[in-house]
Amino acid sequence: MDLTVWRTFVTVCRLGSLSAAADELNHTQSAVSRQIAGPERQLGVPLVERHARGVRPTPAGEVFRRHALATLTEAVRAARDVRDGGSGRPLAVGAVPSLASGIVPEAVRGLLDRAGHIRWSLVPGLTGQLHRRVIGGDIDMAVVTDAPPGLPHAPQVERRFLGLDRMVVVLPADHPRAGAGPVHIRTLADETWAEDNDGSAALLRRHAARAGVGVRIDLGAADLPGKLALVATGHAIALVPGVLRRALRADVTTVGLVDAPTRGVYTITPYRDPHPCAAPLHDELTSAFAAAGEPMATSPVEAREAVAAGESEEAQQELRTQGR
C-alpha cells in the first residue's frame, strides 16, 4: 500500500476533517476522499465514519491508524539515521544474563565509538531461547554459551568461538575464604550452595563429582540477582561465570577454583543477510574479553589445556573443527 495513502489517513484522523487534511497536505478534498476510499476497498471494511463535526476512525480504522503511524515513524527515523551516518537498520543483540551484565554493553559501546550512531537493543535470555530467536530473525546476533544443556547446532546459524570462561565461587564479603587464592572444591563441600539455573548446577555437580565429593544445592533463586542476594546475606555460596567479576555487587567477593569448570562462549549470527555490524561487534567482543582481564582462555594453547579436562565439550569440538 502506498505510504502517501497512510500519511493521508493518519492526517485525516489527527485533524478529524477531510477538508483540513486536504489543506495541510496541499491536496483537493476529493483527492483525500479517494485516498481514504482506496484502502477501504482493499480491506473490505470502513475505516472512517462521518459525524456532525467531521470524521473519526472506526474501530478498524483506529487499529489501521496506529499501525500506519508506527510504520511511517519508523521509516522517517531510518531515513534520518542514514542521513546522519548510521546504518539505518536497528541492531538487536541477545545475550545470556552474565554476558548482558557487562561484557556485551561494553563491546557495543566500543562499536558505537567506532561506527557512530546505531540504534540497538539488548535482549537477555538463555542460550536455547536466543538460538531460536536468531533463527527466527528476531535477533541479529546473540552471545551464548555451551553450558548444559549445550549450544544447539543449526545450518541457518554461524557460530564463532570467543573463548573459555572459567567459573568462580561467589562468597559473602566476610566469608573465611574471602581473599584466598584458588581453593579446591573439597574445601567448600560442606557449604550450602544456591543456584538459579540448571546449567550452572550441572557444572558444579560435575566438577564436585570429579573431585570425589558432593555438594548441597539447598537454595534456588529465580535469577542471577536473586542468587547473589542469597550469597550477600550469608545464606549460601554460589558458582558464577568469571566474566561477572567486575559486575558483582559490593557486598560479595569471589574465589577461584583449582581446575575450575569452564564454559565456551560464542557469538551466533544468521548465515543469511547478517547485520552489517555483526562482524565489527564480534571484534569488539573479543577486545572486551581481552581488556577485562578475567580468567578467560582465548589463546589456542590455553583453550586446549582447558578442554582437555573435559569441561567444555562444545568448545573441544570447536577447536577440532578449527584444526587447533
Q: Annotate 185-251 with DSSP letters as a single string.
A: GGGGTTSEEEESSHHHHHHHHHHHHHTT---EEEEE-SSHHHHHHHHHTTS-BEEEEGGGGGGS-TT
The pLDDT of residue 305 is 47
Q: For the chain, where are the E strands, in sequence order?
A: 48-51, 54-57, 91-95, 120-124, 141-145, 157-172, 192-195, 216-220, 238-241, 252-255, 262-270, 296-297
Amino acid at 303: A
The pLDDT of residue 115 is 76
Q: Measured between alpha carbons, how far is 8 from 10 in angstroms, rounded to an integer?
A: 6
The pLDDT of residue 152 is 86
Crossing angle for the helix pair 103-115 and 278-292, to the nearest 10 degrees: 130
Contact predicate 193/237, CB 8 Å:
yes
Contact predicate 223/194, CB 8 Å:
no
Cell of 5: 495513502
The pLDDT of residue 316 is 45
The pLDDT of residue 247 is 83
Measure Cα distances from 100 to 245, 257, 258 in Å: 13, 24, 27
Q: Measured between alpha carbons, how far is 116 from 119 in angstroms, rounded to an integer?
A: 10
pTM of whole model > 0.85? no
The pLDDT of residue 85 is 54
Contact predicate 294/280, CB 8 Å:
no
- Of 120, 128, 127, 121, residue with least CA distance to 97: 127
Cell of 231: 550469597
Q: Residue-wise pLDDT tens for the chain (324 aa)?
A: 567 888 898 999 999 999 999 999 899 999 999 989 988 898 899 999 988 888 999 999 899 888 888 877 766 666 666 555 555 578 899 999 889 988 899 999 988 888 777 888 899 998 999 999 999 888 999 999 998 888 888 889 999 998 888 999 999 999 988 888 799 999 998 999 999 988 889 999 999 999 999 999 999 998 889 999 999 999 999 999 988 888 888 999 999 999 899 888 999 999 888 888 888 999 999 988 776 654 444 443 444 444 444 445 454 444 334 333
Contact predicate 108/115, CB 8 Å:
no
**What phi and psi values does residue 218 have, to the nearest 5 degrees?**
-90, -20
The pLDDT of residue 1 is 54
The pLDDT of residue 80 is 62
The position carrying cell 535477533 is 139
Bridge partners, residue 157, by sequence: 270
The pLDDT of residue 114 is 81
